[in-house]
Amino acid sequence: QKEVEQNSGPLSVPEGAIASLNCTYSDRGSQSFFWYRQYSGKSPELIMSIYSNGDKEDGRFTAQLNKASQYVSLLIRDSQPSDSATYLCAVLYNFNKFYFGSGTKLNVKP
């Protein structure tokens, strides 16, 4: 079983702050990495994807990948109460299997 590890949280940040979410994975053969946001009782929604080392920015979101350290992170700038959700890290193995971390619950306090 491939492992994808996330701190379950909850991570609490004040409105307007930067939220930093982290994920580690066990298999060096992983090719692609994704962050999903899931509101309570809803389905996961894709936030970011990243495939190569470095940073990738999309609006208030920045994904960071370090394959040598087997580490991927998501930064949320100017956090809003509407960002309060569980964030799932997903890792693609063998070009056909997505494994999900258990998720980090983020609370953004007004």
Partner 1 sequence: DTEVTQTPKHLVMGMTNKKSLKCEQHMGHRAMYWYKQKAKKPPELMFVYSYEKLSINESVPSRFSPECPNSSLLNLHLHALQPEDSALYLCASSQSTNEKLFFGSGTQLSVL
Query: Smallest distance from the beta carbon of 9 to partner 1, in angstroms?
Result: 11
Restricted to residues 84-103, the positions that interact with partner 1 (CB under 8 A) are: 88, 90, 92, 95-103
Q: Who contacts 37 (Cβ-Cβ below 8 Å, separation ≥6)?
A: 44, 45, 47, 83, 85, 86, 87, 88
Contact predicate 95/36, CB 8 Å: no
Among 3, 45, 55, 78, binds partner 1 (CB under 8 A): 45
- Total chain residues near partner 1 (CB under 8 A): 24
Point out which span in 20-28, 39-47, 54-62, 75-83 binds partner 1 (CB under 8 A). 39-47
Binder of partner 1 out of 23, 24, 30, 34 (CB under 8 A): 34
Contact 45, 61 (CB under 8 A): no
b/e map of 27-58 (b: 16 or more CB within 10 Å)?
eeebeebbbbbbeeeeebeebbebeeeeeeee
- Residue 7 binds partner 1, judged by CB under 8 A: no
Instruction: Point out which residues bind partner 1 (CB under 8 A).
Output: 4, 31-32, 34, 36, 41-46, 49, 88, 90, 92, 95-103
